[in-house]
Every structure is written in C-alpha cells, then in structure tokens.
Amino acid sequence: MNNDIPPTLDRRRALELTERLCSQKHFRDGINDLLKFSHSEDSEFQRYGRKIIALTEVARSTLTRVGVKLHLFIVCSQTFLPLKSAYFKMLILIRRRKHAFPSELGGKNLSVIC
C-alpha cells in the first residue's frame, strides 16, 4: 500500500483484518496494517476509532487464547515475542493518539485497553 494514501477501514477491510488478527500466522501482518494509522490525520481516528479499538480487542483475545500473558514484566516464548511486541506497539499508538479518538469512546474504554 502506498504510504501517501490513508488507510481505510470499510466493512470488507475490517473483516479481513479480523481474520488476520485471529490467526497466529497472520497476526503481525494484521497489526502492521493497523499501525499504518499512525500516519493518519485525527479525523481518520474520529472516523475509524471504534473499529480500531474493536480490532485491538480482537488482537488481545487472540494473544490471550494462545497463552500470551499481556504484561510487560512477564516473559513470553520466542515464538510469541514478535506478536506481543506488535500488540504493544498498537497500544502505544492508541495511547499516543488518545486525544483523536471519538469523545464517546472516552477514557474508560481506552484505559481498559491501554
């Protein structure tokens, strides 16, 4: 994907990302696609905020399902380390751009994730 074109999260794309984030094999690719929003304008976060949060929750569920402990201070196997690292990069993006998410998401929903 060209970096000059902002990413979109239409229904088809969101379903595709959900499938990737549910798969251990394609997890990192899914997170990397979500991380492309780091270059987006605040208006994109306003538009896609709910989907970004929902997809991040899918990622969390996948990691939990395969046994990854989602705490920074808990070591995980080499196999899962790249997945855990990618997930935490997504959390950092959300925290850094928290101000840009729709106000109805508020601090409560975002703080559950971050």
Whole-number pLDDT of residue 109? 54
Residue 5, domain member (yes or no): no
Residue 78, domain member (yes or no): yes
Residue 3, domain member (yes or no): no
Residue 17, domain member (yes or no): yes
77, HSE (Cβ side, Cα atoms, 13 Å): 6
Q: What is the 3-state secondary structure (H, E, C) of 75-103?
A: CCCCCCHHHHHHHHHHHHHHHHCHHHCCH
Residue 97, domain member (yes or no): yes
Residue 6, domain member (yes or no): no
Whole-number pLDDT of residue 6? 53
pTM of the model: 0.84
Residue with tokens 């899914």: 30
pLDDT tens, per residue, the chain with 114 residues: 445 555 788 899 999 999 999 999 999 999 999 999 888 888 888 889 889 999 999 999 999 999 999 988 888 899 999 999 999 999 999 999 988 887 776 655 555 555
Q: How many domains does the chain contain in total?
A: 1
Look up the domain containing 88 and give its range.
11-113
**Kind and range of the H or E run holding 56:** helix 42-65
The answer to whether residues 36 and 97 touch, using CB atoms and an 8 Å cutoff, is: no
Residue 4, domain member (yes or no): no
